Copies of this chain bind each other. A is one copy, B any other.
Amino acid sequence: MSANVQNSIMIFGDSITQGGWETGMNGFGASLAHRYARKLDVINRGFSGYNTEWGIPVFEQFFATTEQQKHLPIVRLLVIWFGANDSCLVQSPQHVPLPKFASNLKHLVNLVQSPKSKYYSPKTRIILVTPPPVNTYQRKANLDARDPPILLDRNFENTRLYAETVKDIAREEEVGIIDIWTKMWDAARHNEQALEKFLYDGLHLNDAGYQIMYDAVLETIEKTYPELHPDNLEMVFPGWATIDPNNVVASVQKRDAERSVGVV
């Protein structure tokens, strides 16, 4: 992609991640890319409709092996955001049973963090994200309107259980957590129908929902991995006003974005 000068944040998930670059939706991924411009690239690895069961073999193809990592920019932060599809009810092909969802999330974390893994990446920090709460009123209306209509495929309580599981795994694995389920539920004042402020179809985030997510990502980074907060990173190449016209090459040399940690 480019020489090994700028590391990255990779966001891995389902359609809620994939749609996070849409400007008309105030996509959180694009907003993070803007905030991290010239510091870290923010890479979209969202796969619409995918659950963890399908995500794992895809991850094993797109995430660099330890051997390949020698030649590639470092993924300094991996955000893993699944559960919205895994928590589909059993009639859906997207359904993944809760214990399997838990073990899949653990497996993903271990693929990156275990020294025995082919994908071991010791400089990659991990944040898990809970699925957002479902508004079954909106979701049912959306599915009823399809031709042919589709039976309601998610319910509120089941998605809550998957969100709880994500929190459990984050605690057990000692990685960062973004509990977007609770943030949105609190913002809706514990009223399922009020979730329509944050979801455009009962499942996917709208502008206001993505704003909550954007703020939550930066909050968790600040709390858990402050060395990766944009305010704590330098631009890899310096601001134009510091360039010495008589000594251009010397004054535009790349720098460590992580001044305190010295990684890059």
Contacts and interface: CB of A to CB of B under 8 A. Distances in A.
Contacts of A68: 3-4, 71
Contacts of A54: 240, 243, 248, 252
Q: How many copies does the complex hold?
A: 2
Contact of A2 (B2, B4, B34, B63): B63
Contacts of A61: 3, 5, 237, 252-254
A123 B181 CA distance: 44
Given A38-B18, A41-B1, A49-B239, A57 B23 contact: no
Nearest to A237: B58
Interface in A50-72: 50, 53-54, 57-58, 61-65, 68, 70-72
A47 B240 contact: yes
A110 B188 CA distance: 56
B3 A43 contact: no
A43 B19 CA distance: 17
A106 interface: no
Interface string A16-60: 001101111111001101100110010111111110011001100
Which are the 4 A-B pairs with shortest beta-carbon distances? A49-B240, A71-B71, A30-B30, A21-B34
